[in-house]
Amino acid sequence: MKLIETSKGILTNCMALKANESFLVVADEPKRELGEALWEAGKQLGAESVLMVMTEREKSGQEPPVAVAAAMKSADVVVCVTEHSLTHTKARKEAAANGTRLATMPGITADMFLEGAISADYAQVKVLTEKVTELLTAASTVRIEKAGKSLTFSIAGRNGVPSTGMYVNPGESGNLPSGEAYVAPLEGTAEGQILVDGSIAGIGKIDSPLLLTIEKGRITQAEGASAERLLQILGDQDGRLLGEFGIGTNDKARITGVVLEDEKVYGTIHVAFGSNNTFGGTIVAGVHIDLVVKDPDVYLDDTCIMKSGKLLGQ
């Protein structure tokens, strides 16, 4: 019952779902129970609710079945509650372009459904997220520093993207729970090293740091307990290219080992490798893996905007 009541709150406050609208829940087998709660909540709110349960995808960024993609395009509101992320897929991009209001919930657990990031004041999250998005859009260069390591790359000409947690107008889409501003770095410009100490999508919370060396936008070396597994997930082609830089803006989010919530934590940044063609980049890799870094220093055009995880000027 609590899952259904929480679902009703999410659908009303974050998606503005109205009676008689067409509402589609896309779930996979591991997330079927949460999918059913959302479907039931939509039904109780008077929407024309449909639940589609697909086979679990192998990794984040992999496309859903053709029938699911077609249904996503034709619904007013879509929520994707799946083990692996559909956020950076052509199906999601095309549905949003068609006017669908869409939220993705990759890897969400019942605990995350009821506690943590989902309980944030999303009006407040929206304000901070949009402010950080403007900073990213206006900037040309990014430098991330932590523990003596430094990674630099260009974002010149690339627009920041807000994931506010509120998708109430046609074509708006993003994660739930949410709270991040992100951008597609210019391919081939990243140089340096970054120390990852939070979590990695598909692997979870990490006990020992992972050191990545990046040359001409590509991972050339990975050191640490998670290194081999990460490289295996990314493959040896374009999955190793830097595809995203993001800043968490949700003060209720926790590092749980599920990157959906981890990358939203205020005080963290994340980088992702693989596809970014769905938000302004040119990489099509069939995989998109986020890695979360706690308490870094971040410089935009050599101006410090984050010191030890604290956003300055807030």
The 10s digit of each residue's pLDDT in 240-269 is 999 999 999 999 999 999 999 999 999 999
Q: Which residue positions in the chain have pLDDT lower than 70?
A: 314
Domains and CATH numbers, the chain: 2-114 (3.40.1830.10), 119-311 (no CATH)
* CA 134 remoteness from chain centre: 18
pLDDT at 185: 98
Please answer whether residues 258 and 295 qualify as being in contact, where contact means their C-beta atoms are separated by less than 8 angstroms.
Answer: no
Residues forming a β-bridge with 104: 80, 175
- Nearest CA to 265 out of 290, 245, 247 is that of 247
Q: Answer whether 38's CB lies under 8 Å from 25's CB.
A: yes
Question: Which sign does the torsion angle of CA 73, 77, 80, 86 carry?
Answer: positive
Residue 274 φ/ψ region, left for φ over 0, alpha for ψ in the -120 to 50 degree band, beta for the rest: left
Selection from 99, 71, 90, 80 nearest residue 169 by Cα: 99
Retrieve residue 183's tokens.
């951008």
pLDDT of residue 69: 98
Note whether 222 and 210 are within 8 A (CB).
Answer: yes
pLDDT given for residue 113 in this prediction: 85
Task: Return the pLDDT at 51.
Answer: 98
In this prediction, residue 54 carries a pLDDT of 98
Phi–psi pair at 94, nearest 5 degrees: -70, -35
User: 199: helix, coil or strand?
Assistant: strand
Cis previous bond, 296, omega within 30: no
Per-residue pLDDT of 69-116, as tens digits, reads 999 999 999 999 999 999 989 999 999 999 999 999 999 998 888 888
Expressed in angstroms, the distance from the first to the final Cα of the chain is 38
Nearest-5° angle of CA 230, CA 265, CA 29?
Answer: 60
- Helix, strand, coil shares, percent, the chain, to 5: 25, 30, 40
Q: What pLDDT score was predicted for residue 123?
A: 87
